[in-house]
Structure 1
Amino acid sequence: MEVTRYSTIPAFYEEVESFLLSQEDRAGIMLGNCISFRDKEWEEEKPFLATVKENGKIMLAAMLVPPYALLLLEKEEADGITAVPHLVAYLIKEDYAIHKIMSPKAVGKVFSEQWTKKNRLEEKVLMDLRLYTLKSVIQPAARPGKLRQARAEDMSFLPNWVRGMTEETNQLVTKSEAEELAKTKLESGSLFIWEEDGRAISMASKTRPNVKGVSVNLVYTPKEWRGKGYASSLVAALSEHLLKEGYEFCTLYTDLANPTSNKIYQNIGYVPVCDYIELKFNQKRTETPA
């Protein structure tokens, strides 16, 4: 097997385009990065971009866009597992530090096992995820209210909602980071609110518009409004809105530790595709002598 590294995102994308587009739902994050960052000028640390091939076939693709996690993607699970040792060996030879990965679960666990053993690290599970795809919406039970785009006056509560959502998913952000994310989403027109009687109840965002598909994320309902069907109504309405924009499918990730969200999304038409895992690598803690 051969590890090939690419110096630019356009060069990487030229190589992996058909590999990604043949599984666009599974490849959404990597594909979205190729599209979003293709013209970016990197002043300091550049992305890590590589493929592992056998006889010209891509067995595994790897992408790290600083400061995010290393993304791994295979098309066939057995291929990815076979390719992992070659990628790990290359990273060690190049003395390349990897602190986090996000990957289809089986491949990610094999990478973690080898990476932690060779570098004397330990893994921490940040997110245990399931990827879903929807092509048509199953309408939930009628719920008072309506979908609307977020407005400037919503900034009075949106940063707090962003922080609440990230706290619950172990992706902690600062107050200023939450404000910046909410502002960016609002200004791009990608943040949506479920409103009832003039009151904002729940939020969700359009993200990663790719070639045929688009994703939904940042789904959050304050605790006092949960269990009343608002999240179902919001995500169903937003998904239908995105399909009417011309996308062929919508995707979203759920936390497997939250059975409620996994159930409600399936009830409105989201179908499981595969499981993902996000892992962080830390130095092993040493035992303190008694």
Structure 2
Amino acid sequence: MLPDDWHLTQDIDDFLARAGDFLRSRPALHNTPLTDIEKLRIRRAAEHDAEAAVFGRLESGGEVRAIFYLTPRGRLGLTPLSVEQTDTLAAHLAGLGHSPANVIADHDTASAFAESWQRRTGGGVPVVFWRTHLYRLGTLTAPQRRPEGQGRITGGEEREQVVRWCREFCVDVGEQSSIDLIDAGSWGDSRFGDRHFTFWETPDGTPVSMAAATSIVGGMVRVDPVYTPARLRGRGYAGAVTVEVSRAALAAGATDVVLFTDPANPTSNTLYQRIGYTHVADFAGYKFSYGAPQAG
């Protein structure tokens, strides 16, 4: 056991047995840990990863107050922590020799950890690579002007188009890590590999927009991504397909339907609010750099 009641393990089943209720207690706020850890659990069960992830839980008074997870690819995910708690965790991880490639969390936690990590390790200045608003669905409201056509779940024969549109989405938002995985043929390792995709298609059957959703984890479904090719935007397709996917998530039993938006895109933020999504929190991601060891 580490100071301040941080407990670390590589046993994902034991971790979920002890911290699962905490993660499910706030499914909207914890949406990324829920989906990331579930993906790690599935991959570990299939022995897909030779190197295990590291999981930690912060306990106080016999209750879990926060968690972290460090994936084999170096992503450090955190639930909300105070400045003091992030500094303590940074000291723990640095002392154990861990070197996360990046951290993602709510804005305040991610920023505090990035500052502590730089101070503790002497690395380069952390660089922001992700800023986003988190929205949660309240009352789903269909657009007043619904475009002609209908939503349709994609089939396996449409994977090529799904992959192509996901790559175009990543180019639009500057998500280079996913582009690299797609180009390397590692679709299953990308963040899109476990999604369920829906097309919005015109009456003649032509797909014009796409939205995807995660499986239900802890009662939560995250809509991600939503993409319409540039030449087809401004016609209501994105709103229509988002409503379709959101309605399907509710029908499947989801209690929390969430999505992330780019703060710099007022069009998408306005659209999602119009169909019933409300702002919950802001999130951020920082990537770390480490100096090369000196010879000798």
Q: Select 2:8's aligned residue among 5, 8, 28.
A: 5
For each residue in 1:240-287, what CA deviation from the matched residue of structure 2 results, as whole angstroms up to 9, or x when unmatched? 1221122223111111122211111111011111111111112479xx
Aligned twin of 1:166? 170
State the distance in 2 between where 1:177 and 1:202 align: 25
Where 1:5 maps in the other structure, the secondary structure is: strand
Aligned twin of 2:118? 116
Q: CA deviation at 1:123?
A: 1.3
Mapped contact 1:137–1:240 kept (Cα < 8 A): yes
Q: CA deviation at 1:84?
A: 0.8
TM-score by length of 1: 0.87
Call closer, same or farther: CA 1:205–1:182 in 2, change over 3 Å.
Answer: farther
Q: CA deviation at 1:29?
A: 2.0
State the distance in 1 between where 2:253 and 2:65 align: 32
State the distance in 2 between where 1:123 and 1:153 align: 42
Structure 2 segments unaligned to the other structure (5+ residues) = none
Mapped contact 1:53–1:60 kept (Cα < 8 A): yes
Aligned twin of 2:102? 100
State the distance in 2 between where 1:183 and 1:51 align: 26
State the distance in 1 between where 2:154 and 2:267 align: 25
Mapped contact 2:195–2:212 kept (Cα < 8 A): no
Q: Select 1:194's aligned residue among 188, 192, 200.
A: 200
Aligned twin of 2:90? 88
Q: Cα RMSD between the aligned structures?
A: 2.6
Mapped contact 1:162–1:182 kept (Cα < 8 A): no
Q: Select 2:35's aligned residue among 11, 32, 35.
A: 32
Call closer, same or farther: CA 1:155–1:59 in 2, change over 3 Å.
Answer: closer
Instruction: Report the AA paired with residue 18 of structure 1.
Output: D
How is 1:42-191 mapped onto 2 (pairs within 5 angstroms)?
A: 44-67=50-73, 69-74=75-80, 79-119=81-121, 120-140=123-143, 141-172=145-176, 173-174=179-180, 175-177=182-184, 180=187, 190-191=196-197
Q: CA deviation at 1:176?
A: 3.6
1:225 matches 2:232: yes
TM-score by length of 2: 0.86
State the distance in 2 between where 1:51 and 1:44 align: 23
Call closer, same or farther: CA 1:96–1:158 in 2, change over 3 Å.
Answer: same
State the distance in 2 between where 1:19 and 1:155 align: 36
For each residue in 1:136-186, what CA deviation from the matched residue of structure 2 results, as whole angstroms up to 9, or x when unmatched? 311102211110011344344332211111122222213445783599979
Where 2:289 maps in the other structure, the secondary structure is: strand
State the distance in 2 between where 1:50 and 1:189 align: 27
Structure 1 segments unaligned to the other structure (5+ residues) = 286-290
Call closer, same or farther: CA 1:7–1:178 in 2, change over 3 Å.
Answer: closer
Instruction: Report the AA paired with residue 82 of structure 2.
Output: G
Where 1:157 maps in the other structure, the secondary structure is: helix
Instruction: Report the AA paired with residue 225 of structure 1.
Output: L
For each residue in 1:208-235, what CA deviation from the matched residue of structure 2 results, as whole angstroms up to 9, or x when unmatched? 4213121110211000011121101110
Mapped contact 1:136–1:240 kept (Cα < 8 A): no
Q: Name whichever of 91-100 and 163-172 sits farther off.
A: 163-172
For each residue in 1:72-131, what CA deviation from the matched residue of structure 2 results, as whole angstroms up to 9, or x when unmatched? 002xxxx53331111011011101101111101101100001111222221111110111
Where 1:71 maps in the other structure, the secondary structure is: strand
State the distance in 1 between where 2:37 and 2:18 align: 11
Q: How many positions carry a matched residue from both structures?
A: 280
